[in-house]
Structure 1
Amino acid sequence: MNCLALWVMICKTKPWNRSTLFLCNLTMADIMWMLTLPFLIHYHFARLQWVFGDLACKMVRCMYHACFYSSIYFVTCISLDRYLAVVHPLQSFFLLSRRQSLYVCVGIWVLTSVVSIPSALMTFITPCSQNRTVCTLYIFSYNTNKTLPYTSVSTVTGFALPFVAICYSYWSCTKELKKHSIQKKKKLFRLMYSVLIIFGLMYLPYHLVRNICIVLRAFWSNQTRLVYSSDVAFSVEMAICSFNTCVNPFFYFVTSSNGKNSLKETLSTCCGETKQQVRFKVAAVHPV
């Protein structure tokens, strides 16, 4: 779905606007995030046996962290873009032009890459029991004097502030739309509420459980059963957030009118070509 959305945006959606730019970067963030999956899938299927070396371990963990938060920031940008379009439609082009939007995207990539470096520095491969070599994740490290401040800052800047911005954007959009008699108003409300609920349900439990894992190691490390339970819960939340990251671009893409029309056109063209190919083969086998 990510590759299809990216291809349609690049080849079929013209001209590009701010929303398309943010959507394209969101899609690229999630595609890059998916590139880390083969390494992690092999790692887990091999029963936590890392065979790709220390550098690859650090790069995979860093890339996972950077793309994860890039996705959150681009979702926030899309929400702010809708806020400007609905609440400040005339001033929006001066407040955030396409060139400024490009600068914002570049800034997000630079920011998330820089702030993800500590996650790589706190990652290393280490020998474990049963002749295994584990690619550690900083969440499971007992060096909590580094991991606890890092996860706290990441939670505030990477989730809490974006979540507040998204809530404010859709709350303001709701207030503004109620003042006008717009067709499909209920559909717009359902769409905004769905985005807000999905974002909260996916990312809020993830950050809560992640911080709980580190806090337990910092203050109750002797509670091994509790620590193990929190680790299992965090692994489940990682899987849930991973699913949301995969469907993010496609979900936001089809909810935009230009994107939806381009996607319908592409699919109808593909289906039409397929039908013509089938008719040609049938005619070749059974000539009239």
Structure 2
Amino acid sequence: METSSPPLPRSSPNLGLSLDARLGVDTRLWAKVLFTALYALIWALGAAGNALSVHVVLKARTGRAGRLRYHVLSLALSGLLLLVVGVPVELYSFVWFHYPWVFGDLGCRGYYFVRELCAYATVLSVTGLSAERCLAVCQPLRARSLLTPRRTRWLVALLWAASLGLALPMALIMGQKHELETAGGEPEPASRVCTVLVSRTALQVFIQVNVLVSFVLMYCYVPDDAWTDPLYNFYHYFYMVTNTLFYVSSAVTPLLYSVVSSSFRKLFLEALSSLCGEHHPHGPHSPTLMDTAAGFGDPPETLT
């Protein structure tokens, strides 16, 4: 789980200071330009690749491998949703303009909910696909009777339902609040941020319960009074790097399909050529998702 920012070091109450200095959040221009270029590349490749993957799955002939299309569709949709919703918000609010948060309390909760939903859906979809591949390779005869398109549909639906439940806590603990007050004691509108609303103790318990390495985080979680300017600057830029990697995984998934399966790569290129207005006549054997499934490690005879 990630939050928009760590507990901010308590800035000077001097109202003459800039908002940057009082909030302790500042990103250098070179970093903003660099991360904007990276996010733009990730968004362009990821959105196009996942959208084209959805197009390939929905338009391609299924052959006997009707099960595989549901896993690929699940992964592509989760990646596409994450990139379309997450990257624009990330660029605007966490790279260029840290404050004020402009998307409202509902937007804050929804943003983090979608992030968690897509992350869980991706992980669980890969887990489900891997389990089916393992069963198909290790016990092909049993897989013929157990692995049916109908059961795969139910499995994918169950995985998304589980993802919804696992992501729900983020919609409850996140929200917008004002970090600073005016001289009259009123919340300062310009200091509105999207952050964790629950107490620090509750957040620490939540992280430790939900993360397998909680015993490590118990010692790495920095107390409020231990934040220094160098430490906070390191955290700030390290957070930006890790967030970029978070979206990279969604962008490279379509590339992995193509690397693993030559048949999917042919379908992918055919769909791309069709969208670009080019026409390539099909040969005597046009690839289907049955061939693609075989490329993922399933013997064709086990896919019915």
Specify the code of the residue in structure 2 equivalent to 1:70: A
SS in 1 for 2:178: strand
Shift of residue 76 of structure 1?
A: 1.6
Name which of 90, 100, 103 aligns with 1:40. Answer: 90
Q: Pick one of 59, 74, 77 that aligns with 1:28.
A: 77
1:193-244 Cα offsets, whole Å, 9 max, x none, are xxxxxxxxxxxxxx99xx7499514xx3332034663454333212112111
1:170 alignment counterpart = none
Can you list the C-alpha shifts for 1:92-144, whole angstroms capped at 9, x where unaligned?
Answer: 133332212111111111111122111111111111358231111x4xx7823
Residue 65 of structure 1 contacts residue 119 of structure 1 at CA under 8 Å; is this kept in 2?
yes
Q: Which amino acid aligns with 2:177?
A: T
Deviation string, structure 1 residues 133-175 (Cα, Å, up to 9, x no partner): 1111x4xx7823322333234334xxx9xxxxxxxxxxxxxxx
RMSD over aligned CA atoms reads 3.0
Structure 1 match to 2:143: 92
Match of 2:158 in 1: 107
3-state SS of paired residue (2:99): coil
What TM-score, normalized to structure 2? Answer: 0.62
Distance between the aligned counterparts of 1:35 and 1:111, measured in 2?
22
Query: Which residues in structure 2 correspond to 1:12-161 (within 5 Å)?
Result: 12-15=60-63, 16-36=65-85, 37-44=87-94, 45-129=96-180, 131-136=190-195, 138=196, 143-156=199-212
Q: Which amino acid aligns with 1:126?
A: K
Distance 1:214 1:56, change over 3 A: farther
Q: Which residue, out of 241, 260, 265, partners 1:260?
A: 265
When residues 128 and 55 of structure 1 are mapped into structure 2, their CA distance, relative to the original with a 3 A threshold, is same
AA aligned opposite 1:221: D
Give the count of matched residue pairs. Answer: 219
Return closer, same or farther for 1:41/1:270 CA change in 2, 3 Å cut-off. closer
Aligned to 2:56: 8
CA deviation vs aligned residue, 1:4-54 (integer Å, no higher than 9, x gap): 111111112423532221111011011111122222322132233211111
Shift of 1:247: 1.7
Asked if the contact 2:109–2:172 (Cα under 8 Å) also holds between the matched residues in 1, the reply is yes
1:202-241 aligned at under 5 Å gives the runs 212=217, 215-217=220-222, 220-225=223-228, 226=231, 229-241=234-246
Range with greater deviation from structure 2 (246-255 or 80-89): 246-255
Deviation by residue 1:40-79 (Cα, 9 ceiling, x = unmatched): 3221322332111111111111111111111111122222
Q: Which residue of 1 aligns with 2:14?
A: none
Residues 261 and 48 (structure 1), Cα distance of their counterparts in 2 relative to 1, 3 Å cut: same
What aligned pairs does 1:145-224 form with structure 2 within 5 A after superposition?
A: 145-156=201-212, 212=217, 215-217=220-222, 220-224=223-227
Instruction: Measure, in 2, the Cα distance between the counterparts of 1:30 and 1:214.
Output: 33
Q: Which runs of 5+ in 2 are unaligned?
A: 1-48, 181-187, 281-304
For 1:234 and 1:64, the matched residues in 2 are separated by 15
| 2: CA distance, partners of 1:227 / 1:215 | 14
**Separation of aligned partners in 1, 2:269 and 2:203:** 46
Q: Tell me, which stretches of 5 or more residues in structure 1 are unaligned?
A: 161-206, 276-288
| Larger fraction in helix | 1
Q: In 2, Cα distance between the equivalents of 1:216 and 1:227? A: 13
**SS of residue matched to 1:108:** helix
1:239-269 CA-partner distances (Å, limit 9, x unpaired):
1121112222442355235423322433455
CA contact (8 A) 1:30 1:67 kept: yes
- Between the aligned partners of 2:53 and 2:98, the Cα distance in structure 1 is 34
Same amino acid, percent of matched pairs: 22
Task: Tell me, yes or no, if the aligned pair for 2:78 and 2:118 is still in contact at 8 Å.
Answer: yes
Distance 1:270 1:252 in 2: 19
10 and 154 in structure 1: CA distance in 2 versus 1, 3 angstrom threshold: farther
Q: Is the 8 A contact 1:84 1:92 kept in 2?
A: yes
